[in-house]
Amino acid sequence: MGWLDRVDDQVDALTKARALQEVSRSVEACTILEGVLRTTRDPHARSDALVQRLSALINLGRTAEYTRAIEEAAAAVRDLAEPYLHGHLNALAALAAHHQGALDRCVTHLVKAARALNAVDDPDRDTAWGWHDLAMAYSYLSFHGYALGAIERARQLGSTAGIPEETFAAPGIRLRNAVALDHTGDSDGCLRVLRDVGLDLDRFVAAGRADRLRPSSLAAYGYAAARRAALGDHDADRKSDPTELLSHGADSARARDMRQLGQVCLAIAAGRPIEAVTRLETVTVSAETLGAAEAARLRSMALGRAGDHAAAHRADRLAFRLAAQRHDRLRDVYIDGIAARIDHEEMRREAARFEGEALTDPLTGLPNRRRLERYIAAVVSRGERVVIGVCDLDGFKAVNTRHGHHSGDLVLQRVAGVINRVMRRGDFVARYGGDEFVVVLPGAGMSEATEVARRIDAAVRSEDWESLVPGTPVGVSIGLSEVGAGGPGQRDALGAAFEAADREMLRAKVRPRSA
């Protein structure tokens, strides 16, 4: 009998391969997975091995092998009923498509991944990793709000499955958000995010848990610190050395890129701009790791420190242009998708059917009413304190009347992103229907919930609606209610809370607003 003929041996091998990938030892994981694939006859073990192998190839940056690996994994997974496998495969396929520059295919895989993972009835450790990889795909595609939501879902499921918090720290998601802000001129916003990333690392260090962070996370923390220093924001109370952090990452291609660009940042910070420029001329990094504009932006910073302000300005304009090109490509993919939905009635009917059956709103990507009700019921059944907020848009009817339903859809999508952006970690946001959204604030009292509502109102009012739907400002009315623990039953408690919040929302609509 071969060493992997027994089911127990296969399970052990797959578990070991997964653990190796968690610590960025993907070459060793590939060797084990190839052994499983040569010997197993079990369709579940084969599917798991093929999905894991695709993950390892992406970690290693072996782009030439992506297409075949995806085809083999898809063929193996196709007839299996486990939604998490379909979700995880599509999340990885989205990452691969992004590396290959196929943005339309990437977006398609993202949608399929989210739908499959949301359909898992009994999420476990594997599902948590599926959400983690989906978060990474969102992040690389610059869908930063979606990425933050997906990684929070991974943390929640991981915590239930016994995965330590630091495993899903995922500083690279916020790091990419930060540098994207800098590429488009918002250096102050970039620094705010980088400081938050540094505070997270300080918290792990203070708790004695930094040694349990994944190597790829350590490299991202190192780059965040180096990038912050390059912007002139030196941390006098730094608890970790960026150079030492950047040395981590094992065989991860993305960590290798951050190590090389991190040395450029440290040279800029140390007042050695010519060294920084020289390093940039010799390094080869993937444009996908931190965005195509990052090298040009670092060149601009180095040339500015060297006193060549004309060349620095040219490099900065190039960085801005490269960032804008990415946004234009994403917009084109999105618009093409909208046009296809409008042009093909059959696809519209399919989307409507899915909206009624699945757990995700296809327009905004938020959880829908069905998933919201399940979520609140689960929270209340655990006896947790929770406040519900009903958010109804003001001025939305005028948007549809003056600009049409397509513009109305764009407003709903932007509002969904705005609300998500100002929520606390762990809060839940859903589209209830029409122009009504519901927020669920676990563990919050009414004073805390009132502050969240104030932030939502301020963020929606300050959004640039004039550029999207001229002459039709958009606002939001919010009603809050706490779900009572007592009463005749959970359903009655939930119904009473929704009615109370809805009444408060209607009162807010007629209440005079401050300017």
User: What per-residue confidence (pLDDT) applies to 343?
Assistant: 46
User: What per-residue confidence (pLDDT) applies to 484?
Assistant: 65
Same-domain pairing of 387 and 493: yes
- Bridge partners, 478 (sequence order): 391
User: What per-residue confidence (pLDDT) applies to 8?
Assistant: 61
Boundary of a domain, candidates 324, 356, 391 = 324
Boundary of a domain, candidates 324, 348, 381 = 324
Same-domain pairing of 305 and 389: no
**What phi and psi, each to the nearest 5 degrees, are found at residue 414?**
-70, -40
**Residues sharing a CB contact under 8 Å with residue 314, sequence separation 6 or more, in sequence order:** none
CB atoms within 10 A of CB 281: 9
**Residues sharing a CB contact under 8 Å with residue 243, sequence separation 6 or more, in sequence order:** 222, 262, 266
What does each C-alpha distance from 131 to 114, 116, 157, 288 come to in angstroms? Answer: 8, 10, 9, 20
Same-domain pairing of 208 and 317: yes
In a domain, 197, yes or no: yes
User: What per-residue confidence (pLDDT) applies to 487?
Assistant: 46
Place of tokens 């190590």: 259
Question: pLDDT, tens digit, for every residue of 125-138?
Answer: 888 988 998 898 88
Number of H helices, E strands in the chain: 24, 4
Kind and range of the H or E run holding 141: none
What does each C-alpha distance from 337 to 344, 445, 470 come to in angstroms? Answer: 11, 41, 24
Place of tokens 């009615």: 499
- Residue 461 sits at the vertex; the CA angle it makes with 448 and 475, to the nearest 5 degrees, is 90
Boundary of a domain, candidates 270, 289, 324 = 324
Same-domain pairing of 400 and 479: yes
* Phi-psi category of residue 100: left, alpha or beta, with phi > 0 → left and psi -120 to 50 → alpha: alpha
What is the token pair recorded at 100? 């290959």
Report how many domains make up the chain: 2
**What phi and psi, each to the nearest 5 degrees, are found at residue 61?**
70, 25
Q: How far is C-alpha 459 from the chain's CA centre?
A: 20
In a domain, 192, yes or no: yes
What does each C-alpha distance from 349 to 104, 238, 355, 404, 405 come to in angstroms? Answer: 21, 56, 10, 20, 17
In a domain, 67, yes or no: no
Please provide the DSSP assignment of 361-429 as one string: -TTT-SB-HHHHHHHHHHHHHTT--EEEEEEEEESHHHHHHHH-HHHHHHHHHHHHHHHHHHSPTT-EE
**What phi and psi, each to the nearest 5 degrees, are found at residue 272?**
-120, 65
Q: Are strands 475-482 and 386-394 parallel, antiparallel or unpaired?
A: antiparallel
User: What per-residue confidence (pLDDT) applies to 268?
Assistant: 96
If DSSP codes are grouped into helix, strand and coil, which group holds residue 238? coil
CB atoms within 10 A of CB 78: 11
In a domain, 97, yes or no: no
If DSSP codes are grouped into helix, strand and coil, which group holds residue 200? helix
What does each C-alpha distance from 388 to 195, 417, 475 come to in angstroms? Answer: 31, 19, 19
- Bridge partners, 441 (sequence order): 387
Same-domain pairing of 245 and 384: no
Kind and range of the H or E run holding 488: none
Q: In the chain, which residues have pLDDT < 50?
A: 1-5, 236, 335, 338-339, 341-348, 350-351, 354-357, 486-489, 515
Same-domain pairing of 403 and 472: yes
- Read off the CATH number of the domain in which 480 is found: 3.30.70.270
In a domain, 355, yes or no: no
User: What per-residue confidence (pLDDT) applies to 298?
Assistant: 96
Same-domain pairing of 378 and 297: no
- Residue 179 sits at the vertex; the CA angle it makes with 229 and 318, to the nearest 5 degrees, is 105
In a domain, 34, yes or no: no
Question: pLDDT, tens digit, for every residue of 9-63?
Answer: 777 888 898 888 877 788 999 999 999 898 888 888 889 899 899 988 988 888 8
- Bridge partners, 391 (sequence order): 437, 478
In a domain, 247, yes or no: yes
Count the alpha carbons within 13 Å of 365 in the hemisphere toward its beta carbon: 23
Same-domain pairing of 497 and 403: yes
Same-domain pairing of 419 and 299: no
Host domain of residue 373: 367-510
Same-domain pairing of 373 and 318: no
In a domain, 114, yes or no: no
pTM over 0.85, yes/no: no
Same-domain pairing of 308 and 431: no
Same-domain pairing of 295 and 418: no
- C-alpha to C-alpha distance for 440 and 367, rounded to whole angstroms: 12
User: What per-residue confidence (pLDDT) applies to 330?
Assistant: 63
Q: How far apart are the first and last CA of the chain?
A: 78
- Bridge partners, 393 (sequence order): 476
